[in-house]
């Protein structure tokens, strides 16, 4: 199953909700959401800085990752960004493929 790095930033309202329910309950809620689409959470961490949460999730594919992102972001409580993660074997497969490309201005 494809892996995605989900980066999340809480809005003011989202932070108020986190303060009320705590980190463990938030992680459990996110796990239920990911499981509802056939996925699972590999890791879930809070952070200081530009992003509030970093999670690695396994979900069936890009459409499912997009559905999660759209549904979560539509609440207004959190903004998400998803990064597709590749295994070393997938990179091996990619570098073996021949690609014809012409750079701009060449």
- Spans of all domains in the chain: 3-88
Per-residue pLDDT of the chain (106 residues; tens, 9 = 90+): 999 999 999 999 999 999 999 999 999 999 999 999 999 999 999 999 999 999 999 999 999 999 999 999 999 999 999 999 999 999 999 999 999 999 999 8
Domain 3-88: what homologous superfamily?
ACT domain (3.30.70.260)
Counting every residue written for the chain, the total comes to 106
pLDDT recorded at residue 41: 98
At residue 28, the pLDDT reads 97
Centroid of chain to Cα 3: 9
pLDDT for residue 69: 93
d(CA 48, CA 50) in angstroms, rounded, equals 7
What is the structure's pLDDT at 55? 98
Provide the pLDDT for residue 106. Answer: 81
Q: Which long-range contacts (CB under 8 A, 24 or more apart) does 62-71 make?
A: 62/2, 64/37, 64/38, 64/39, 65/2, 65/4, 67/37, 68/6, 68/33, 68/34, 68/37, 68/39, 69/6, 71/33
């Amino acid at each position: 199953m494809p892996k995605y790095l989900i980066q999340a930033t809480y809005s003011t309202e989202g932070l108020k909700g986190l303060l009320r329910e705590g980190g463990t309950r938030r992680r459990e809620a996110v796990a239920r959401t990911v499981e509802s689409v056939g996925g699972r959470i590999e890791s879930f961490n809070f952070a200081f800085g530009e992003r509030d949460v970093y999670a690695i999730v396994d979900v069936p594919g890009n459409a499912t990752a997009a559905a999660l992102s759209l549904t979560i972001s539509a609440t207004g409580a959190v903004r998400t960004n998803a990064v597709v993660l590749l295994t070393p074997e997938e990179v091996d497969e990619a570098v073996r493929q021949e690609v014809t490309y012409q750079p701009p201005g060449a």
